[in-house]
């Protein structure tokens, strides 16, 4: 019998993937998510729903926006439309041969939703994952044109009528674009782009760029860097209307997520992360109880009751070997670092999230709810 995580959100039953519609509203963090209410594998895409006051303890609510007769409910975002006193979900409606952007409305804090109103259709097969936010006096949408390797930006006064502003392509990101998220952070702007394939070790991964947004175009000032150096962090997006800039990602990898034969539930969200920019870099701080370690050893391990997660230095890289605790692809991964190592580790059943000298790495591992022994080897 699997042990359910205590520090990460999992659905009571069945499949989840991307976080959707992240918004802080009326004192609660709302986590909507891609969900199959019927099976433990991808399909019948709907928006599940959970809420929290502390980003650690989550209460799952009934399915928010179920699959429709003519389209599945793919990823998107949520905003509070103050003028009409309603929450608005902006999502991709997917049907064979077409992806378009739709709106749904809630007048009771996200508990129930009405209408499925198509508002943006470019007659494209791949056109998805809208993230919407208020900029000055208008709404801005970032949305992926996946197979053109572009993020498109649109503007609207009313969330219904949208005009194209610009397209953005990063020469460093040359795989299918998904789940873009553009947001201000301090005096800069950050653009997150998830790619599948395009992960560091195969499968999926998420990258970011820092720059400026002038109301029409995103102008990068840095090259793309990975958000996470582990194999299991994807589709990360941030909360709208949160007091601080907070992100959550899907803790899995498309290389194997749909192939694992798991009972009861399949998929978990990462721990939330607090974001800031420092010295031109994006700094992510894990939210939740972490254990702290420090070592200058060349090799060390976290020893669990059923095996060890092993670490070994090699040419300014820290190689992590999860082969004793993992039964699928990507048994090793690496974190760029040099010198003594300071580790903050968030341990939970089924996973480990590491902050090693400021670089984060997330990995699924087959362990229960235990705190491993840390030791040099």
Q: How confident is the model at residue 368 (pLDDT cuts 50, 70, 90)?
A: very high
Order of strands, edge to edge, in the sheet holding 86-95?
72-81, 86-95, 98-106, 114-120
Q: How confident is the model at residue 18 (pLDDT cuts 50, 70, 90)?
A: very high
Say which CATH superfamily domain 14-286 falls into: Glycosyl hydrolase domain; family 43 (2.115.10.20)
Q: Give me the mean pLDDT over the 316-333 stretch.
A: 97
CATH code assigned to 291-376: 2.60.120.560
Smallest CA-to-CA distance from 352 within 336, 330, 372, 334 is with: 372
The catalytic site residues sit at: 18
Q: How confident is the model at residue 276 (pLDDT cuts 50, 70, 90)?
A: very high
pTM score, whole prediction:
0.97
Question: In what helix (H) or strand (E) does residue 286 lie, and over which residues does it extend?
Answer: strand 281-286
Q: Give me the mean pLDDT over the 143-151 stretch.
A: 98
Whether residue 204 contacts residue 196, with contact meaning beta carbons closer than 8 Å, is answered with yes
Summarize pLDDT for 218-275 with one digit per residue, the tens: 999 999 999 999 999 999 999 999 999 999 999 999 999 999 989 999 999 999 999 9
Domain ranges of the chain: 14-286, 291-376
Q: How confident is the model at residue 2 (pLDDT cuts 50, 70, 90)?
A: confident
């Amino acid at each position: 019998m699997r042990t359910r995580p205590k520090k990460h959100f999992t659905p009571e039953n069945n499949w989840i993937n991307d976080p959707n519609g992240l918004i802080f509203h009326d004192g609660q963090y709302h986590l909507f998510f891609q969900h199959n209410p019927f099976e433990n594998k991808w399909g019948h895409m709907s928006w599940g729903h959970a809420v929290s006051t502390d980003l650690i303890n989550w209460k799952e609510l009934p399915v928010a926006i179920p699959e429709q007769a003519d389209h599945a409910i793919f990823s998107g975002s949520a905003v509070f439309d103050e003028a009409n006193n309603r929450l608005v979900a902006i999502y991709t409606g997917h049907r064979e041969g077409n992806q378009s952007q739709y709106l749904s409305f809630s007048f009771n804090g996200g508990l129930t939703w009405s209408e499925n109103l198509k508002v943006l259709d470019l007659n494209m097969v791949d056109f998805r994952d809208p993230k919407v936010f208020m900029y000055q006096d208008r709404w801005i949408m970032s949305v992926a044109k996946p197979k053109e390797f572009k993020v498109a930006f649109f503007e609207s006064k009313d969330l219904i009528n949208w005009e194209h502003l610009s397209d953005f392509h990063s020469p460093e990101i040359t795989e299918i674009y998904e789940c873009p998220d553009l947001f201000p952070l301090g005096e800069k702007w950050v653009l997150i782009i998830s790619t599948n394939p395009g992960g560091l070790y195969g499968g999926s991964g998420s990258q970011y760029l820092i720059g400026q947004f002038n109301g029409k175009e995103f102008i990068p000032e840095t090259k793309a860097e990975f958000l996470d150096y582990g194999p299991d962090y994807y589709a990360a997006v941030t909360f709208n209307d949160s007091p601080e800039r907070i992100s959550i990602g899907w803790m899995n990898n498309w290389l194997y997520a749909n192939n694992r034969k798991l009972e009861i539930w399949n998929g978990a969200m990462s721990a939330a992360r607090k974001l800031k920019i420092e010295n031109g870099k994006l700094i992510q701080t894990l939210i939740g109880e972490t254990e702290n370690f420090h070592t200058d050893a060349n090799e060390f391990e976290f020893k669990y009751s059923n095996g060890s997660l092993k670490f070994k230095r090699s040419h300014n890289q820290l190689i992590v070997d999860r082969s004793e605790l993992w039964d699928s692809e990507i048994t090793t991964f690496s974190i760029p670092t040099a010198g003594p190592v300071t580790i903050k580790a968030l341990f939970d059943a089924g996973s480990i999230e590491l902050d090693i000298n400021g670089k984060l790495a997330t990995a699924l591992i087959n362990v229960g709810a235990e705190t491993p022994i840390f030791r040099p080897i």
